Amino acid sequence: MGSGADRITELAPSLASEALREMEVLVAVSTPSGDRAGAEEAIALCASFLPTAAQIERVPCSTSTCAPDLLARISGFGRLRLLLLGHIDTVISHDSHAPLRPAGERLYGPGTADMKGGVAVALAVARALAASPELFAELSVLLVTDEEWRTEKFRHVERFAGYDACLCFEAGERTAAGEEGVIVRRKGAGTLRVSATGRASHSGSAPLEGRNALLALCAAATAVAAHSDPHGAERLTVVPTVIRSGEAFNVVPAAGELVCDLRCEDVAAFARVLAAVPEEVGGAKLEAGLERVWPAMDSEAATADLLARAAQRLGRPIIARARGGASDASHFAASIPLTVDGLGPRGGGAHTPDEFVLASSLRERLEVALSLAVTALESG
């Protein structure tokens, strides 16, 4: 593979062309989380894009109802081990699915930014590295099928214990000054679910005989949202996102559910939010619990030297950035200190029908990812 920025720049144009074609093929497959048929088709495509030296396994997904994840391993002659991480599931339903649609610099399509564009970049990096097995002892690619909606415990951390670096390919970004940014800090994330049990009654003739579950859930939403402090030391946000209650316009609601999204620098703060849910409001009982608790990620100090040396290799700055959204990189950061995220192409509109990536960013982010990968593998 050679060394230095010149060689990386030489590889990037051809790799970007390949990544664009592969992203288009992947986006053409509808893969909402939980859909096994779509996941199997996308995984089969990814397997075909991997280097021929890869030993491919299908390993159990963290979510038992989802299709197995893809794990590819490539053995080399170097000293260090590198993990390339991504996911193939999206939040876009089959009904809203559409193929890749170019519009000037923008390439629109479900999952382009989150994260089929990133997967295409990861696979291109894997092929480039596989051509130089002297760089690594082991190169692994892990593509999961349940990242968007997982509520069960992530099961892959122990498998990669002892790895030297992890690169994750969620969407990339630039600083306000136009410099390349990568993600080294993420908030912890959690879902608070509150169920209410009241008593139904006629809302006209006997409203006082009811126990209003809807009012109880509204009180709970207000109570927990009061703990939100995005500018405080913990940067805690508590956002009620879903409420369901009531079956008829003239019946006191007897049951319902509230869902809140929690983000914080330290997930220990979520216990305080949970404790703020009252046990009873107006006679309606409330039960609350935390789901989908993902750890925070902070690899800023550990990766500072890596980013500096990779930037020198690349010939332009690579800036450490923080992001609020959750990622599977957060699960690995505690055991793999050199964990860097946000290496996919730049874009926007994630989780919406207007999701897109910028075509030129495929090459630019490939250059960043290759520089980080080679520099990380030289660290030993």
Q: What is the model's pLDDT at position 243?
A: 98
pLDDT for res 132: 93
Output phi, psi for 167, to 5 deg: -115, 125
Contact (Cβ atoms closer than 8 angstroms) between residue 318 and residue 310: yes
Q: What is the pLDDT of residue 214?
A: 98
Within the chain, all domains assigned CATH 3.40.630.10 are found at: 4-187+296-377
Query: In 3D, which of 259, 321, 265 has the Cα closest to residue 292?
Result: 259
Q: What pLDDT was estimated at residue 56?
A: 98
Average pLDDT per run of 10 along the chain, which is 380 residues long? 57 93 98 97 98 97 97 97 98 94 96 97 97 96 95 95 97 96 96 98 96 98 97 96 97 98 95 97 98 94 97 96 92 96 97 94 96 88
Of 367, 191, 197, nearest to 267 by C-alpha is: 191
Neighbour-count burial of 266, counting CB atoms closer than 10 A to its CB (0-12 exposed, 13-18 middle, 19+ buried): middle
Distance of alpha carbon 111 from its chain centroid, rounded? 11
Residues 231, 338: Cα–Cα separation, whole Å: 28
Distances (CA, A) of 104 to 108, 359, 361: 10, 9, 13
CATH number of 4-187+296-377: 3.40.630.10
Name residue 295's amino acid.
P
Question: Which part of the chain has CATH 3.30.70.360?
Answer: 188-294
Q: Is 172 within 8 Å of 344 (Cβ atoms)? A: yes
Class of the domain covering 188-294: alpha beta
Take residue 22 and report the two structure tokens written for it.
């592969």
Q: What is the Cα–Cα distance from 170 to 117, expressed in whole angstroms?
A: 9
Count the neighbouring beta carbons within 10 Å of the beta carbon of residue 361: 25
Residue 259: name the closest of 188, 187, 190 by CA: 190
Instruction: Give dist(CA 323, CA 24) in Å, integer.
Output: 27
